[in-house]
Amino acid sequence: MSRLADQALPLQHWTVLSLRPRGQHAGLRAAATRSGARLLALSPIAIDILDDSDARQSLAAALAADILLFTSPNAARAAAALAPLRPRRGQHWLAVGAGTRRALARSGIDAVAPARMDSEGLLGLPQLVDVRDKRVGLVTAPGGRGVLAPSLAARGATVLRANVYARRAVALSSARRAALEAVLRDPERVLLALSSGEALDALLAQLPARGLGKVAVVAASARLGEAARAAGFTRIALASDARPAALLRAAADAFARHD
């Protein structure tokens, strides 16, 4: 019997491009390593906490709502940096996915997350089915999940939006550009892990699309898959959610078997 170390891993000899903000690559790096791939961290966006009076006031209003809804781990971390997170009697705290739920747990919050980790999954939770005349605090960033607020309002809720962080485009360093150019010499074995439309836009604003067009893309949602297709990518797989393991499992199923 061959040893595990001698067995081919599903993404062996592949390079995974991570667009996550600086300091947030660990989960994807570990998943890539388990799949036999290396990771190139590009970080075309940075996360800024909006530490101003508007953000603090809107967050205070949201934290007093009947239902709290956090759209990302960054939203949970930024909110915790701006104000104490203390559940009130009868409140429901909801998270878009497992990562956001874990970020809230670090602040002592036991939040509920849907099995389907996206806006549609959130809207299907029992706590959001009947929200007529209820206040829903939406803790998020400018832009982002545009379907949530209008859908909740259509159900009769008063949505109290708190933008607690912002995404900022960051120029790639010359070293990152050189490393990317090197891996793109073999684009057939390059995988772009896509979990943010803003990050994709920030990357493409700095690089010619033709240089990236041949790489494979694994998208965390159908919406992101469409964004990749609109940008000119043709090798696209969809993952069940944005978790690193889910992204790389979908990529291996879609692309590695054709090597």
pLDDT digits (tens, 9 = 90+) for 183-237: 999 999 999 999 988 999 999 999 866 678 899 999 998 889 999 999 999 999 9
CATH of residue 222? 3.40.50.10090
- Find out whether 19 and 228 touch, Cβ atoms under 8 Å: no
- pLDDT per position as a tens digit, 13-39: 999 999 999 889 999 999 999 999 999
Residues 217 and 127 in one domain: no
Q: Quick one: pLDDT at residue 27? A: 93
Statement to judge: residues 144 and 241 lie in one domain: no
User: Is 161 found in the same domain as 105?
Assistant: yes
Helix (H) or strand (E) holding 61: helix 53-63
pLDDT at 1: 38
Q: Are residues 125 and 159 in the same domain?
A: yes
Residue-averaged pLDDT of the chain: 91
Same domain membership, residue 205 and residue 97? no
β-strand pairing of 165-169 with 45-49: antiparallel
Domain stops at, among 167, 187, 214 = 167
Mean pLDDT over 43-66 rounds to 97
Strand runs (DSSP E) across the chain, as ranges? 15-18, 38-41, 45-49, 67-70, 92-95, 135-140, 158-163, 165-169, 190-194, 216-219, 235-238
Task: Write down the pLDDT at residue 69.
Answer: 96
Q: Which of 125, 144, 167 is the last residue of a domain?
A: 167
Q: What is the 3-state secondary structure (H, E, C) of 180-226?
A: HHHHCCCHHHEEEEECCHHHHHHHHCCCCHHHHCCCEEEECCHHHHH
Count CA atoms within 13 Å of residue 114 on its CB side.
20
- For the chain, how many structural domains are there in total? 2
Same domain, 66 and 158: yes
Relative to beta strand 190-194, strand 15-18 is parallel
Alpha-carbon torsion (89, 94, 95, 98), positive or negative: positive
Question: Quick one: 175 and 163 in the same domain?
Answer: no
Residue 187 CA to residue 179 CA, distance in Å, equals 13
The yes-or-no verdict on residue 8 having pLDDT over 60 is yes
52 and 149 part of one domain: yes
CA angle at residue 155 from 149 to 160, to 5 degrees?
40
Structural domain ending residue among the three candidates 167, 199, 230: 167
Mean pLDDT of 76-93: 96
Q: Which of 3-7, 48-52, 152-156 has the lowest mean pLDDT?
A: 3-7
* Structural domain for 83, as ranges: 48-167
pLDDT on residue 188 = 93
Least trusted range by pLDDT, from 77-81, 145-149, 233-237: 145-149
Task: In whole angstroms, give the CA distance from residue 194 to residue 19.
Answer: 7
Does residue 158 sit in the same domain as residue 175? no
Q: Quote the pLDDT of residue 120.
A: 82
